[in-house]
Amino acid sequence: MPTFDGGHYFLTVLVPVRTEPIKDGTAVTSPVHALRKQLAMLPTAAQTPACGGGQSPFARNTRNHFARFVIIDDTNYNGREQCNVLWTVIRKINPIVAQPQDHLTCPFLFFGVDFDAASAADTERDSYLATLWDTMQDELQRIFTYCVGFDTNVSDAASFAKYIARCQIETTMSFNDYYVDSPLPLLPVWPADKNLIPAGAGAVVFLLGLIVFCFMSGKAGFIVMLLGAAVLAAGLWFAYSSLLAAGGKPFPAAPDSNLPAVLKALHLQRTFTRFAIDNQLLAADPESAHQLHDAFGIFVAANEPENLIGPTQQPGIIGI
Amino acid sequence: MAVELDLADIQGNILTPYGKLGFPKGRFILFHIDNPDSGRKFVTGLLPMITTALRWKSSTTDIPTGKIEVPRPDVTVNLAFTWYGLLALGIPVRTLRGMPDEFIDGMINRAPMLGDDFREDWKNRWDEVWTRSGDGYGPNENTVHLLVTLNAKMNSDGSAVAALDAQTRDIETLRQETGGGVRLLTGHNLPGHPKQDFQELSAILEHNSDGTVTPLPKEHFGFTDAIGDPVFEGQYPNDYEQAVAEGNGALDGKGNWRPLATGEFLLGYPDEAQEIPGAAMPLDFSRNGTFIAYRKLHENVAAFRSFIHETAKDYAKVSGIADLDDARETLMAKMAGRWSDGVPLSLAKDVAAWKQFNIDHPGSDQMAREAALANFSFNDDKEGAKCPLTAHVRRVNTRDMMDPTGDDGSVLNNRRRILRRGLPYGDSSNGAPDSEEHGIVMLVVCASLFRQFEFVQQQWINYGLDSHAGSDTCPIVGNHSDGTPGGKNGPKAKFVIPADPSSGHPPFIVEGLPQFVETRGGEYFFVPSMTALRMIGMGVVDPT
């Protein structure tokens, strides 16, 4: 189930954008234009000074890994559907007459987030959305006000969660980048031999029935064939549904892959590099072993490697 | 059917590193074209002087010449244009807009992306000739339009042959005859310094006891330079080409080498993506041409020497090297990926192995030694115990280091190769201070500056992700942050030297690398074929 995979919830939302012109200051404009302007003014992240110094409002909670807004204006038109020239002539298709084209009735705001969650339960999604509302209500209001039904239906965290849930679609392809070692041993298994036995048995019974039908008793053979066909069909259905069920099992969470653990790891990586640089001459001299040991003790005490909440890196930034 | 290049149509500096092959002196000259008619006349006048890729007999190597042999010139002449130069020559808009974005931008506008903005006032530290065209987009009367590169043979006393001055005078005479529409751009010097008309270049010279001098294949830090260079299809006659492709071409997953695709270095040929990439139309304008990035790189030799001197003391302690000279040599080798005489760390991981390599591969057989210096891979040294992952040679030519499946050889490296031309300039001997002029003018040749040169510069030299080294930059030519709090480049530059776990020694981390190499100017140039030069001169470039 790709909406939830590897300890991360992959939320995909498509919200319809209003179409009637609105007033943006003194100018009359379209909601999608005003929405684009709002999104353009939203700070991305303070990853480097080159980002401009603003901090993304998504950095205010510690469950976000990635969040993205995209405006989808309309479906793409790939051009005329081509068919064989002879077929065109035979069917008297006139290539000058345009084929029907698909269009959206309004633009949509795509909202995709990858956040930490314990399970695929709706309560996990709703608790995340409630946190989002509590930490960036102003920004959310400024963005979603251009979407259909937001102003009339959303007034608090619960109604925001309900509004987003209504617009959620299934995530069919998620991207999880936190496995360092090969996760192959953790993949859900689907033992082909075991799952194909019923279908195989059905096929054998069917063949047996066929042999009986042809060479021995027509009636008995027919009944056995019927029985075999039924078992084969049921067996195939069993194999198919067990395959889908195995594929639907979420990938287990990679070790230490929630945001607090990732931030702590970055903090330790940086502070330990500092420690290594400062103490490498001690490491070179066996007589300084005690001194090095003491220094490492101070490092551990100061940085508390096991404490995810303790000394750590703030979200939304890189380095110091 | 192998690629048969029309050598007489290709400018000679693309296929041949003149500096290495008997032309240790150089003079690079820049012009501005005020009037398209004069510019075209100038190009047409220069055309017969140009050195093509036709081969002559080498006096020092046994590189075969192929079917046609030409007399060896005393001075080679080659031309290249900036995008604004092509505009000034009246090339049609339809051709100009087919040129790559980065070429139109020009190098100075790409400086932040290339990591050339070493400090806030970086533009004041470029040679005047490259910065007088203003502060960004748009040309003015000082914009560089045309580059003429001269490479010359050397007299036994170390001076350039007289033909270099004679050739320069011929070009000046030609310029005057064009009616004043072509101007020499001077200022190959820092602001406030005496005006230099040309960029003079010379190999570093060794003075022998008999009063003669020998050009050395060295750059100012003391490393042997220009050892490996990509080899591509059509560059050399067949058997020889396969021989030099060993170590210099592309590596498959089974240890076999082959020449790279021609299209990586010349426009109009299939490249490593197995397609002919798009180029400015008409095709005969682009075909057999290529691009160069001209980079004047100042070397802070004194800073480098004192850094090595100081750092080697700690490095010796941490890595357990008893002799300080050995520690200095090893530290330099770990930064470069090669010992100072060019022997790769991958083939000689410590001082003892280095000495043995030099016994096994004596300099008396130059060709065999060069082949041995080039032929190695990184796949057996994934942790960098021999050659650090962030060493210079491992960054600029990753060979099979990033083999995605263990069976694909250098596939992720083949589209990022560059040919290196150019020569050192200035004098750094006798403890010359870093305020004096010494460095290297590097001409980077590739079919796509964006995909090849800029990628290597941005992703591999000035970033460390592919080397598993975070934001660490190249220890030698990288942009080294001084760690100014709040500065845009983050904490002080560092360099990690991994240790072989079996040695029992810990890794060594160097922190606070000074800026060893500083860009002093440069630009992107198009190097047209002889056909394209003829069309430019006649004013008949027709993209329709």
Cβ neighbour number for residue A254 with a 10 Å cutoff: 19
Q: Distance from CA of residue B183 to its chain's centroid? A: 27
Is the CB of residue A180 less than 8 Å away from at least one CB of chain B? no
pLDDT at B326 over 80: yes
Which tokens is A11 given? 């939320």
Instruction: Tell me which chain A residue has its CA closest to the CA of residue B487.
Output: A49
CB contact under 8 A, B318 and A273: no
Nearest to A74 by CA among A31, A150, A145, A17: A17
Q: What is the pLDDT of residues B36-91, one digit of tens each?
A: 999 999 999 999 999 999 999 877 667 778 778 899 999 999 999 999 999 999 99
Share of residues in chain B with pLDDT > 90 (%): 83
The three-class DSSP label of residue B120 is coil
CB contact under 8 A, B509 and A284: no
Split at pLDDT 50, 70, 90, the class of A140 is: very high
- Whether residue B543 contacts residue B532, with contact meaning beta carbons closer than 8 Å, is answered with no
Which has the minimum average pLDDT: A131-140, A219-228, B199-208, B482-491? Answer: B482-491
CB contact under 8 A, B508 and A48: no
Cβ neighbour number for residue A260 with a 10 Å cutoff: 17
Instruction: From residue B427, give the alpha-carbon distance in Å to each of B219, B422, B534.
Output: 10, 16, 39
pLDDT at B534 over 90: yes
Which has the minimum average pLDDT: A57-61, A163-167, B476-480? Answer: A57-61
Q: What is the pTM of this model?
A: 0.91
Instruction: Tell me which chain B residue has its CA closest to the CA of residue A52.
Output: B488
CB contact under 8 A, A319 and B314: no
pLDDT at B21 over 90: no
Q: Mean pLDDT throughout B222-228?
A: 88
CB contact under 8 A, A281 and B511: no
Of A48, A273, A281, the CB nearest to B314: A281
Q: What is the pLDDT of residues B430-457, one digit of tens each?
A: 889 999 999 999 999 999 999 999 999 9
CB contact under 8 A, B508 and A280: yes
Split at pLDDT 50, 70, 90, the class of B159 is: very high
Q: Which residues of B touch A182 (CB under 8 A)?
A: none
pLDDT at position B140 is 86
pLDDT at position B133 is 67
Q: Which residues of A touch B320 (CB under 8 A)?
A: 284
pLDDT at A1 over 60: no
User: What's the rounded Cα separation, in Å, for the pair A273 and B151?
Assistant: 48
Of B487, B490, B506, the CB nearest to A280: B506
User: What's the rounded Cα separation, in Å, for the pair A251 and A93?
Assistant: 50
Split at pLDDT 50, 70, 90, the class of A151 is: very high
3-state helix, strand, coil in chain B (%, to 5): 30, 20, 50
Which residues, including other chains, have CB under 8 Å from residue A276's CB and lie 6 or more apart? Answer: B507, B509
pLDDT at position A49 is 60
> Degrees (nearest 5) of the Cα angle B413, B418, B422?
155
pLDDT at A52 over 70: no
Of B486, B487, B506, the CB nearest to A283: B506
pLDDT at B29 over 70: yes
Which residues, including other chains, have CB under 8 Å from residue A9's CB and lie 6 or more apart? Answer: A3, A113, A114, A115, A116, A117, A120, A124, A125, A128
pLDDT at position B361 is 95
Q: Which residues of A touch B319 (CB under 8 A)?
A: 284
> Degrees (nearest 5) of the Cα angle A282, A305, A55?
110
Q: Mean pLDDT throughout A49-57?
A: 73
State how far residue B456 is from chain A, nearest Cα, in angstroms: 21
pLDDT at position B367 is 84
Helices (H), B382-438: 392-396
User: What's the rounded Cα separation, in Å, for the pair A272 and A257?
Assistant: 20
Is the CB of residue A276 less than 8 Å away from at least one CB of chain B? yes
pLDDT at A67 over 60: yes
CB contact under 8 A, A277 and B318: no
Which tokens is B527 given? 């190097």
User: What's the rounded Cα separation, in Å, for the pair B374 and B342?
Assistant: 9
State how far residue A284 is from chain B, nearest Cα, in angstroms: 5
The three-class DSSP label of residue B409 is coil
Q: Which residues of A touch B314 (CB under 8 A)?
A: 280-281
Of B317, B488, B511, the CB nearest to A277: B511
pLDDT at B132 over 80: no
Instruction: From residue B319, give the alpha-carbon distance in Å to each of A293, B326, B354, B388.
Output: 20, 11, 17, 14
Split at pLDDT 50, 70, 90, the class of B2 is: confident
pLDDT at position A189 is 79
- Whether residue B351 contacts residue B371, with contact meaning beta carbons closer than 8 Å, is answered with no
User: What's the rounded Cα separation, in Å, for the pair A132 and B127?
Assistant: 53
Mean pLDDT of chain B: 93
Q: Mean pLDDT throughout B258-280?
A: 96
Q: Mean pLDDT throughout B475-486?
A: 88
User: What's the rounded Cα separation, in Å, for the pair A202 and A210?
Assistant: 12
Split at pLDDT 50, 70, 90, the class of B333 is: very high
B387 versus A257: the higher-pLDDT residue is B387
pLDDT at position A24 is 85
pLDDT at B135 over 60: no
Q: What is the pLDDT of residues A182-210, one digit of tens each?
A: 666 667 778 888 888 999 999 999 999 89
Q: What is the pLDDT of residues A71-99, one digit of tens each?
A: 999 999 999 988 899 999 999 999 899 99
pLDDT at B232 over 90: yes
Reported ipTM: 0.87
- Whether residue B425 contacts residue B202, with contact meaning beta carbons closer than 8 Å, is answered with yes
pLDDT at A235 over 70: yes
Q: Which residues of A touch B508 (CB under 8 A)?
A: 280
pLDDT at position B118 is 82
H or E element in which residue A315 lies: none
Alpha-carbon dihedral B337, B340, B343, B348, rounded to 10 degrees: -70
- Whether residue B259 contacts residue B372, with contact meaning beta carbons closer than 8 Å, is answered with no
Q: Mean pLDDT throughout B304-318?
A: 96
Q: Which residues of B touch A277 (CB under 8 A)?
A: 494, 509, 511
CB contact under 8 A, B317 and A277: no
Which has the minimum average pLDDT: A149-158, A267-276, B238-247, B479-488? Answer: B479-488
CB contact under 8 A, A320 and B491: yes
